[in-house]
Structure 1
Amino acid sequence: MAAFAANRVGESIALYDKMIEANPASKPYLWQRGLSLYYADRFADGAEQFAADVAVNPNDTEEQIWHLLCLARQQGGSLEAARKSALKVGTDRRPVMRAVQQLFLSGGEAEERELAAIARDGDVGSRFYAALYLSLYHESLGDQAAAEARMREAVDTDYARGGGRSDPMVELARVAMQRRGWQ
């Protein structure tokens, strides 16, 4: 993950692959590898990684969403087409992630407004996660301007600048900014 956080995505994949080579049973638990695969534009491999994770952790909402993102990118940017292959997961304990899940699975305006309200008014961590996933949602729809604005919002939250700095998803947001040229 340190290589990924330094925007050395190819190196991070090679390191994860070495871990899998040394211990094949570890593959389903390396969800961070899926993030690296996504930002390396290896969407089929990323979808496979996230599906393997959900197979051993059937309550993993974030991996369900990343799986959808990978499928959407594979299918020409169609989140609607990807939804037909959505992995089934349990209910996330975090309200923000339940709202994210509803948005990605339905794509409704009401769900987007609900998540935008969390990004504006939620607790410190929820504001970050809501903005992050709104960015990814807009990116999946091809709306780069909205995706950039929401990612900037995510990295500017108190969570990203403070106590959440070591959260892998904060590192992901920073890498996304770099890889998309939004720095």
Structure 2
Amino acid sequence: MSALDWKRHGMELFSQGDVSGSLEQFNKVLDAFPEELPYLWQRGLSLFYLDRFEEGAAQFREDTKLGNNDSEEALWCFLCEARSYSLEEARQRIPDTGKDSRAYMNQIYKLYKQGGDPQQMLGSFLKEDRGQAFFYASLYSGLYYEALGEFEPAKSAIMSACASSYGSTSQDYMVSVAKVHCKTRKWC
């Protein structure tokens, strides 16, 4: 099998809720093609959902070295390190990213890096058509609430992401992440 085949299979398994199986596939990629490490952000997500936070943070830090201005790997690194250390230490350690091409991701990154009220940030997206920006703002607000230990607002935000028009129809891998999150928390 090629690296791409294993990666696709891992993504399929994750989307089906088989997080352990997905990690096995992503690790096969690394065993055969170690140079793929900085491109396996999906592996970091699997590690997060298996409560292997230090390994997850290390994976996301590798991904941020690519310098592609994608803030999501930095956010997931923060989420892993908030579990391994503390919220404040995770905030201090969050990798710097350049300006993300998605304006809403820059707002989300600012919330994680500087702190603040996720509901206030999320409120700016409520006027949206419940599309992509609303989905991402809801997902990452929910994850931030969970890092704060506020589980009811976390549940509400992530379930709103899943129920959004984008969350209901998109094939985006992050939609699978939101659904797996709900499943692992027994919210659905």
TM-score (norm 2): 0.90
CA contact (8 A) 1:116 1:131 kept: no
Q: What does 1:1-183 correspond to in 2, within 5 Å?
A: 1-75=11-85, 78-109=86-117, 112-118=119-125, 120-123=126-129, 124-162=131-169, 164=170, 166-183=171-188
CA contact (8 A) 2:19 2:46 kept: yes
Query: One-letter code of the match for 1:179?
Result: T
Question: What is the distance in 1 between the residues matched to 2:92 and 2:132?
Answer: 30
**How far is the alpha carbon of 1:58 from its aligned partner?**
4.3
**How far is the alpha carbon of 1:115 from its aligned partner?**
2.9
Q: Determine helix, strand or coil for the equivalent of 1:121.
A: coil
Q: Determine helix, strand or coil for the equivalent of 1:17.
A: helix
What are structure 1's unaligned runs of at least 5 residues? none
Query: Per chain length, whose mean CA-contact separation is higher, i.e. which structure has more relative contact order (CA < 8 Å, sep 6+)?
Result: 1
**How far is the alpha carbon of 1:83 from its aligned partner?**
1.1
**How far is the alpha carbon of 1:114 from its aligned partner?**
2.7
What are structure 2's unaligned runs of at least 5 residues? 1-10
Query: One-letter code of the match for 2:127?
Result: D
Bigger CA drift: 81-90 or 133-142? 81-90
**How far is the alpha carbon of 1:57 from its aligned partner?**
3.2
Q: How many residues end up aligned between the 2 structures?
A: 177
CA contact (8 A) 1:154 1:173 kept: yes
CA deviations over 1:3-29 (Å, ceiling 9, x no partner): 111111111111100110000001110
CA contact (8 A) 2:100 2:106 kept: yes
Change in Cα spacing, 1:149 to 1:112, as seen in structure 2 (3 Å) is closer
Give the superposed CA RMSD. Answer: 1.2
> Between the two proteins, what is the percent identity of the paired residues?
39
Question: What is the distance in 2 between the residues matched to 1:170 and 1:57?
Answer: 24
